[in-house]
Every structure is written in structure tokens, then in C-alpha cells.
């Protein structure tokens, strides 16, 4: 076992390959994609000495189990979770040496939603449009991990210094999203805008990498007509016919026909990636939180 690769022993509920995405292709109908919690992905890469944009694994809730074919350095971050190597406890949020043939188990998230697993050298699947990210909406990039799959690893970098451990914020007990109203805020009543920025919502279990769905008060429309499809951006808060806001995340469609009441600041979306179903959500006008 000398090749730099790892085998997937347990894929988990949804484990995908992610890097920092493929921005700049929206005019072709291609979403940005990439790690939902980009700061966490950068940190685990730093722990193993990778470049910031190296491809990592993003797990969802249930973790995964992997077996490298060669000695590798691995770091697990993002949502806190138990980590073991051949059944022995290993640190979370710190670099770990995993021997060839050993079983690395990334357990279920103890809080939060998404864990990130970095290997020195990065996951070296073939890039598509400059990115190795799995895009669930368009189908670009590698498929989600499956039991028995073998994924290649790149050569370790000698350029970037490693760190021993990196603190990471805990998943949010309440998700506060700063928004700028528009471009279609005028399609909603004044009372609806007041409701949107003052009332509490909860995160729906129907949320995914495409968008965060919310449960709570419906937003009343002032304009009842149909809107031609127009461009969508990361963080757009679209309001479908049921009136409950949907926040677009990394795999969002590039166009949409429902009005966008506001746009969330990109800096707040990493916390959104770790918010579990049922988490309270508040939308606050930018500059007032």
C-alpha cells in the first residue's frame, strides 16, 4: 500500500468533496458551490500544511469512516465530533498521523451540522471548471462519497507551515443573519418587512446545501404578479409562494423567479452552515445588530 489514496469504509449520510468553489461561472448557469463553512475548511487545511483552497471532505451530521493506503496527516474540524484511529481516541481540531491501513472514524456531530476532514496534499479528484467541489444542484464535480470508493490524494506541500491547533467558534444557539433589503423588497408590504426583520424564525429540516428553509410567519406580498427569472447570488433571501424566507447557500441556482426580499452578508453564512434544524433564526438589517 504505497499509493496516496484513501478508501471509504463508511460514507455517512452525505459526505462530499469541497474546496473554495468555482466562482465566476454564473453566466453559464453554474453555481459557486464549495465548502459551506469556508473558514472551517481553511482551518483544517492550515492544520495539515495545505494551501487554503485544497480539497477537503465535508460530512453532514453522521460523519464517515476512512482508511488511507499510506501514512497521512489528517485534521478534523468544523462541527465538534469524536475522532478515533483504530478505535483509539484522537484529537479534534489538531493534526493526527494516521498509518496506512488504519481506520479513521469521524463520528456524528455533537453540535452543529458539518465536519471537515483535511489530508496533507488534499483530495486530488479531477477538477471541473477549476474546482474539485461536488455541486449537488448541477451535478458537477465528483459524486457524493459511497462505501467502497477510493479517492486519490495529492503530494504534501512544503510551502505552507502547519499549526498545532486552531480554536473554532461553537455552532450557533441562535442564528443572526445581517441582511441588506432588496432588490425586490418593494414587492412586500411594509408590515411584511417589519415582520421579516423583527420576528423569529426557525431553521427547517428541509434545509440543504442549496438553501436554508425557514419556519415562521409568512411575508405578505404587496405585488401579486409573476416575476421573470433573474440572476441569484449567494445569500439571496428568496420568498416562495408560502411566504417563508429561503436563504440561498453555495449550491444555489443561478436564476430564480420568486422575489428576493434581501441578501445576507457573506460573512454570516459560515454560521448558517453549522446551524441545526430547529435553530432560531433572526434577520437583522445590516448595521443594526
Q: Cβ distance 20 to 52 under 8 Å?
A: yes
CATH 2.40.100.10 at 175-285, yes or no: yes
Find cell 489528517 and name the residue: 74
CATH 1.10.287 at 5-152, yes or no: no
User: Looking at the chain, which residues constitute the CATH 2.60.120 domain(s)?
Assistant: 5-152
CA 206 to chain centre: 15
User: Looking at the chain, which residues constitute the CATH 2.40.100.10 domain(s)?
Assistant: 175-285
- pTM for the predicted model, two decimal places: 0.92
How far, CA to CA in Å, does 280 sit from each of 163, 215, 225, 238? 34, 9, 31, 18
Residue 29, phi then psi, degrees to nearest 5: 80, 20
Query: For residues 23 and 250, what is the distance between their CA atoms, to the nearest angstrom?
Result: 10
Count CA atoms within 13 Å of residue 102 on its CB side.
Answer: 20
Return the pLDDT at 27.
86
pLDDT mean over 280-284? 97
Pairing of strands 88-90, 114-119: unpaired
Q: Cβ distance 197 to 283 under 8 Å?
A: yes
Q: What is the largest CA-CA distance in the chain?
A: 65
Per residue in 240-259, pLDDT (tens digit) is 999 999 999 999 999 999 99
Per residue in 133-172, pLDDT (tens digit) is 999 999 999 999 999 999 999 999 766 656 666 666 677 8
pLDDT mean over 269-279? 94
**Burial class, 261, CB count within 10 angstroms (exposed 0-12 / middle 13-18 / buried 19+):** buried
Amino acid at each position: 500500500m504505497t499509493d496516496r489514496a484513501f478508501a471509504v469504509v463508511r460514507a455517512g449520510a452525505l459526505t462530499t468533496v469541497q474546496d473554495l468553489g468555482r466562482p465566476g461561472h454564473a453566466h453559464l448557469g453554474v453555481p459557486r458551490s464549495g465548502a459551506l463553512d469556508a473558514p472551517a475548511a481553511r482551518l483544517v487545511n492550515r492544520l495539515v500544511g495545505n494551501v487554503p483552497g485544497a480539497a477537503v471532505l465535508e460530512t453532514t451530521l453522521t460523519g464517515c469512516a476512512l482508511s488511507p493506503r499510506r501514512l497521512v496527516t489528517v485534521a478534523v474540524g468544523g462541527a465538534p465530533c469524536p475522532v478515533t484511529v483504530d478505535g483509539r481516541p484522537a484529537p479534534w481540531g489538531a493534526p493526527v498521523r494516521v498509518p496506512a491501513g488504519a481506520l479513521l472514524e469521524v463520528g456524528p456531530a455533537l453540535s452543529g451540522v458539518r465536519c471537515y476532514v483535511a489530508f496533507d496534499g488534499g483530495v486530488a479528484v479531477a477538477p471541473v471548471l477549476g474546482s474539485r467541489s461536488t455541486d449537488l444542484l448541477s451535478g458537477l464535480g465528483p459524486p457524493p462519497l459511497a462505501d467502497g470508493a477510493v479517492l486519490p490524494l495529492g503530494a504534501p506541500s512544503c510551502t505552507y507551515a502547519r499549526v498545532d491547533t486552531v480554536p473554532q467558534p461553537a455552532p450557533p444557539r441562535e442564528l443572526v443573519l445581517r441582511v441588506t433589503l432588496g432588490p425586490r423588497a418593494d414587492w412586500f408590504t411594509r408590515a411584511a418587512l417589519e415582520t421579516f426583520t423583527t420576528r423569529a424564525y426557525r431553521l427547517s429540516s428541509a434545509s440543504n446545501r442549496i438553501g436554508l428553509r425557514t419556519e415562521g410567519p409568512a411575508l405578505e406580498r404587496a405585488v401579486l404578479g409573476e416575476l421573470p427569472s433573474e440572476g441569484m447570488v449567494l445569500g439571496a433571501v428568496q420568498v416562495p409562494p408560502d411566504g417563508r424566507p429561503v436563504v440561498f447557500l453555495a449550491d444555489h441556482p443561478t436564476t430564480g423567479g420568486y422575489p428576493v426580499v434581501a441578501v445576507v452578508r457573506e460573512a454570516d453564512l459560515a454560521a448558517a452552515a453549522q446551524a441545526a434544524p430547529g435553530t432560531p433564526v433572526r434577520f437583522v438589517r445590516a448595521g443594526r445588530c
